[in-house]
Amino acid sequence: MRFSLLDRSRTRTGEPEAEALHDTLDRAQRAEALGFHRFWTAEHHAVPGIASGAPALLLAAAGQRTERIRLGSGGVMLPQHTPLLVAEQFRMLEALHPGRIDLGAGRSLGFTAPVRRALRREAASPEEFAADLGELLSYLDGSAPVTARPVTGPVPVHVLATRSGLEIAARLGLPVVVGGPLVLSPELPEALAEYRRAFRAEGAGVSGSEHCGGRQRGAWQGRGERDVGGQDGDRPHVILSLDVFAADTVERAEELALPEAWAMAQSREIGAFPPLESPAAIREQAWPARVRRRMEEHRAQTVIGTHAQAARRLERLVSAAGADELMTTASTFDTAAQAELDATFAELAAGLG
């Protein structure tokens, strides 16, 4: 069981926003020392609680601070970019840090209507995302009419999957990262079973076969390469992505989870995703009934408990989903506690076999 980490560069009250980026780079170094397989960064634009809007730039810096861990995006949001520019950015990363780069791609739009207008993109259908993804793959496998440079080795592409994303990933023969409400839903096993049934090994581009929708291999070898990016290149690969808060006691785990749950509830209350606050500061504020309800809804999508409780829940989840890899997305206010949380997750995930 491989285990990985997605860091969102969460800002914290009382700190300059730039500090969140330095925290991300420190976390990448710790993740490598702890044996994490991947370290991914996120893309969020004009969100008060998140400092990173440019994953490729942050990954370049992380590459300078690490030596072995795979680095990737969780993810690049294709509706906000042209596929050629994304291919160029990640080929450049691959040239600088060969054999270590992943490209996670999703189709989320901006957080609010003003942000979507600023990004010049207010809608994106699954069909548009599939077309953009196919174009991106063509630049990465060398079959496009123009060449994304520099020409490099393979850049494995993963799809950040909603239900429509699972269908697109299966059609293109790509690995998936499943997060959000679906990951702890009773519907997950069947959704993944359908992904596996529909998976077309011959359909892929960058993780693909000798032919990709009629396209020949490009400047690198495709599906014949094994274990590209940490998964077998000719079979479905599922990464489950979720918040995991495990500690010596349930009370301590709840305290670690509180800042993110509060921020999520506030985002629905005030329409802006705020920086993380300390548990003490949160407890001093009023908790209207609707905020409590939203925090409970967020909690239901999170693994929270003692080490033993979290391990049992993760084991059941991995078994039900047939997951190949686990990715933690948990953030908390105190950075020392964050380091401890990451170490606990590494220990739990490694124990799953």
DSSP H or E segment with residue 75: none
Q: How far is Cα 229 from Cα 175, in angstroms, rounded to an integer? A: 10
Residues 220, 142 contacting (CB under 8 angstroms): yes
Close Cβ partners of 17 (under 8 Å, ≥ 6 residues apart)? 11, 51
Q: Is the pLDDT of residue 209 over 50?
A: no
The domain that holds 16 is classified in CATH as 3.20.20.30
Number of other CB atoms surrounding residue 82 within 10 Å: 12
Note the pLDDT of residue 191: 96
Residue carrying structure tokens 């047939």: 322
What are residue 182's phi and psi, to 5 degrees?
-65, -30
What whole-number percentage of the chain has pLDDT above 90? 75
Residue 129 lies in a domain: yes
Note the pLDDT of residue 203: 61
Residue 317 lies in a domain: no
The two three-digit tokens of residue 315, written as one number: 């084991």
Residue 274 lies in a domain: no
Residues 71, 105 contacting (CB under 8 angstroms): no
Residue 264 lies in a domain: no
For residue range 93-112, what is the model confidence (pLDDT) as tens digits?
Answer: 999 999 999 999 998 776 67
Note the pLDDT of residue 142: 95
Note the pLDDT of residue 162: 79
Residue 334 lies in a domain: no
Q: How far is Cα 138 from Cα 158, in angstroms, rounded to an integer? A: 15
Binned at pLDDT 50, 70 and 90, residue 118 comes out as confident
Number of other CB atoms surrounding residue 13 within 10 Å: 13
Residue range(s) defining the domain that contains residue 170: 2-242
pLDDT, average across residues 199-206: 65
Tally of structural domains, the chain? 1
Binned at pLDDT 50, 70 and 90, residue 233 comes out as low
pLDDT, average across residues 5-9: 97
Mean pLDDT, the chain, as a whole number? 89
Q: Is the pLDDT of residue 219 over 60?
A: no
For residue range 254-283, what is the model confidence (pLDDT) as tens digits?
Answer: 999 999 999 999 887 776 789 999 999 999
- Higher-pLDDT residue of 253, 273: 253
Q: Is the pLDDT of residue 7 over 50?
A: yes
Number of other CB atoms surrounding residue 120 within 10 Å: 9
Number of other CB atoms surrounding residue 170 within 10 Å: 21
| Alpha carbon 251 to chain centroid, angstroms | 28
Residue 102 lies in a domain: yes
Q: How far is Cα 3 from Cα 246, in angstroms, rounded to an integer? A: 15
What are residue 137's phi and psi, to 5 degrees?
-60, -35
Residue 90 lies in a domain: yes
- Higher-pLDDT residue of 119, 125: 125
pLDDT, average across residues 22-40: 98
Least confident range from 269-273, 285-289, 323-327: namely 269-273
Note the pLDDT of residue 217: 32
Residue carrying structure tokens 């490694």: 350
Q: How far is Cα 38 from Cα 230, in angstroms, rounded to an integer? A: 9
End-to-end Cα spacing for the chain = 5
Least confident range from 154-158, 180-184, 306-310, 318-322: namely 180-184
Residue 309 lies in a domain: no
For residue range 334-343, what is the model confidence (pLDDT) as tens digits?
Answer: 999 999 999 9
Close Cβ partners of 65 (under 8 Å, ≥ 6 residues apart)? 25, 28, 29
Note the pLDDT of residue 68: 97
Residues 133, 105 contacting (CB under 8 angstroms): yes
